[in-house]
Amino acid sequence: MSDSNRRLVIEGGESIVDFNSKAFKAVPESGIEDAVATMRAGMMYRYQPKRAEDSHVSLFEAEFATHLGSNFALGVNSCGAAMFIALNIAGVKPGDKVLSNGFTFTAVPSAIHHARAEPVFVESNLEWGLDAEDLENKVKESGAKVLLLSYMRGHVPNMDAIMAVVKRHDLYLIEDCAHAYMTFWNGTKLGNFGRIACFSTQSSKGLSSGEGGILTTDDIEIAGKALLYAGSYEERWNRHFGIDEDLMNTLQNQIPGYSMRMTEVCAALLRPQIPRLKEIYQIHRQNYHYLEGLLENHPNIEIPKPFPEVEMFCDTIQFHLRGLTRKQADSFIEVMSLEGIDMQIFGVKRNARDFREWQFLKDIEAVELPATVEAIEFACDLSLQPHLNTSHMDVIAQVICEVLAFIIMD
C-alpha cells in the first residue's frame, strides 16, 4: 500500500462510517430465553426430551420444513456436515467424481474431500452462477453422476437449463443453499429442486446460531438415512416427526452415525428466527436495490443482473470493478477498510472462495477455469446485514464513489 493510502480520504481525514456493516443478526429475546431455559434444565442434548413435541430440535425441523415446503428437515451441526451426509446418501464412494462449482466457499469442495471423492469443477459465469453448458460438457467428460450445486452468495444459475442437464443425465442433485434462504426461481424456493438441500446456520447466514446446519428432503427414506448418519442410535428415531417405523427398523444399524447432531440450545436460538426471515428478506431487498440504483451507472462498477425468474435474498452485494489495475483494485479494498467498510475481492490474497487456494485437493494446480477466474478476479463482495437501512446505503455508496475517485486519481 502506498503512503498516500494510509490516510482517510473523505471529510478531511475523518471517516463518515459510524456503523459496523458486518455486524451479525442478534437472536430474538424469546430464543435467548428458551436457550437459557434448556441450559438451566440441563437439557442440551437433542434426544433428552422423550417426545418430538418436547424437543426444540424436532420442533425446529418441523417448522423449517413447513417454511421451505419440504416433507422433512434434519438439524445438524453445520452445512458442511449436511453436505457430507448428503453425499453419503447419494452413494458417493472414495474415488468417485462429484460435479460442483469452481466458484464457491472452500467448505463445499471440503465436503467432497471429506467423502474421499474427487470434485469436478464447473465454470461459473460473470453473474456467479453455474454455467449449464459447461456442466453438460463436464458431465460428458467425467461421467460423474452427482452434482453438488452451490448457490454461492445467493446467485442463481439458469435453473431450467441446469435441470434439463440434471434430467438428461439422471444426475443426483444436492443443493447447497447456505446462502440461499428465501431465494426463488419462478416462484419456487431454492432447496426444492434437488433430492437433498443443505442450509447453514453459521452466524453470517439468514438463520444464525454461531454454527449449525439443516438437511431437507421430500423422500422419507433419505430422511431416515440422514438422521442415522447424523448420529441417531438405538430407537431414538422415534423422537423425530413423520418417521416410518418399519423403514427405520430396516435401516437401523446399517448406517454409521457420524455424530453431527444439532443441539437443543442451537434449535432454541433458531426457532424464532424462521418467522423473521420474511421481514429480513424485505429489508435486504430494499437496501440492495437502493444501493444498486446509486452505484449501477458508475463507470468503474458493473453489477450483473440476475435472470428475470430470480428473486434473491440480497444479504450481500457483489460487483465487478472495471477499468482498474490489479494494484488499484487491491488498494480500493484497503482504503475502504480504512474508511470503516470491510469488503473483499474473491479472486486474490488467499481468499477461501478462490479455487486456486484449495491446495488440499490433488492436482488443483492443473485445474483450468478461465471463466471462473474472470468472474472472481475483480469481484467485490460486501455484506448487507438487516440492521442497515437506506441512509446507511447512502453512506456506503458515497464512500465507494469517493474512494474509487481517490484511487483512480492517485
Ligand X SMILES: Cc1ncc(COP(=O)(O)O)c(C=O)c1O
Q: Report in angstroms how near the CB of residue 102 gets to ligand X at its nearest.
A: 13
Binding segment for ligand X (CB under 6 A), chosen from 6-14, 20-28, 102-110, 112-120, is: 102-110
What dihedral do alpha carbons 243, 246, 247, 250 form, nearest 10°? 140
Put residue 314 in one of left, alpha, beta given phi > 0 → left and psi -120 to 50 → alpha.
left
Binding segment for ligand X (CB under 6 A), chosen from 89-97, 104-112, 129-137, 166-174, is: 104-112
Query: CB 29: neighbour CB atoms within 10 A?
Result: 9
* 80 is a site residue for ligand X (CB under 6 A): yes
Q: Report in angstroms how near the CB of residue 2 gets to ligand X at its nearest.
A: 33
* 107 is a site residue for ligand X (CB under 6 A): yes
Of the candidate residues 70, 100, 183, 200, the single one contacting ligand X (CB under 6 A): 200
Q: Are 109 and 119 a contacting pair, CB within 8 Å?
A: yes
d(CA 315, CA 386): 8
* 104 is a site residue for ligand X (CB under 6 A): yes
Query: Closest Cα partner for 243 from 271, 261, 217?
Result: 217
Within residues 211-240, the interface with ligand X by CB under 6 A covers 213
Binding segment for ligand X (CB under 6 A), chosen from 163-171, 172-180, 186-194, 302-310, is: 172-180
- For residue 350 the three cell numbers come to 488467499
Q: Which is nearer to ligand X, 80 or 157 (CB)?
A: 80
Query: Closest Cα partner for 140 from 123, 161, 120?
Result: 120
Q: Which is nearer to ligand X, 339 or 354 (CB)?
A: 354
Q: Please give the size of the binding site for ligand X, defined by CB under 6 A.
A: 15
Of the candidate residues 10, 17, 74, 79, the single one contacting ligand X (CB under 6 A): 79
Within residues 39-78, the interface with ligand X by CB under 6 A covers 78
Query: Closest Cα partner for 181 from 157, 207, 160, 163?
Result: 207
* 157 is a site residue for ligand X (CB under 6 A): no
* 313 is a site residue for ligand X (CB under 6 A): no
Q: Are 65 and 222 a contacting pair, CB within 8 Å?
A: no
d(CA 292, CA 317): 8
Q: Report in angstroms how near the CB of residue 89 gets to ligand X at its nearest.
A: 17
* 159 is a site residue for ligand X (CB under 6 A): no
Q: Which is nearer to ligand X, 157 or 213 (CB)?
A: 213
Of the candidate residues 46, 97, 179, 239, the single one contacting ligand X (CB under 6 A): 179
Q: Which is nearer to ligand X, 60 or 406 (CB)?
A: 60
Binding segment for ligand X (CB under 6 A), chosen from 3-11, 23-31, 173-181, 385-393, is: 173-181
Of the candidate residues 178, 295, 345, 379, the single one contacting ligand X (CB under 6 A): 178
* 148 is a site residue for ligand X (CB under 6 A): no
* 301 is a site residue for ligand X (CB under 6 A): no
Binding segment for ligand X (CB under 6 A), chosen from 15-23, 103-111, 215-223, 249-257, is: 103-111
* 108 is a site residue for ligand X (CB under 6 A): yes
SS3 at position 102 = coil
C-alpha 93, offset from chain centre: 25
* 264 is a site residue for ligand X (CB under 6 A): no
Q: Are 354 and 106 a contacting pair, CB within 8 Å?
A: no
Of the candidate residues 21, 202, 216, 316, the single one contacting ligand X (CB under 6 A): 202
The DSSP secondary-structure symbol of 151 reads -
d(CA 313, CA 111): 24
d(CA 99, CA 149): 8
Q: Report in angstroms how near the CB of residue 262 gets to ligand X at its nearest.
A: 11
d(CA 44, CA 87): 28
Q: Which is nearer to ligand X, 213 or 231 (CB)?
A: 213
Of the candidate residues 100, 124, 150, 331, the single one contacting ligand X (CB under 6 A): 150
d(CA 11, CA 32): 41
Exposure string (b/e) for 156-187, b if CB count within 10 Å is 16 or more? bbbbebbbebbeebebbbbbbbbbbbbbbbee
* Binding site residues, ligand X, CB under 6 A: 78-80, 104-105, 107-108, 150, 152, 176, 178-179, 200, 202, 213
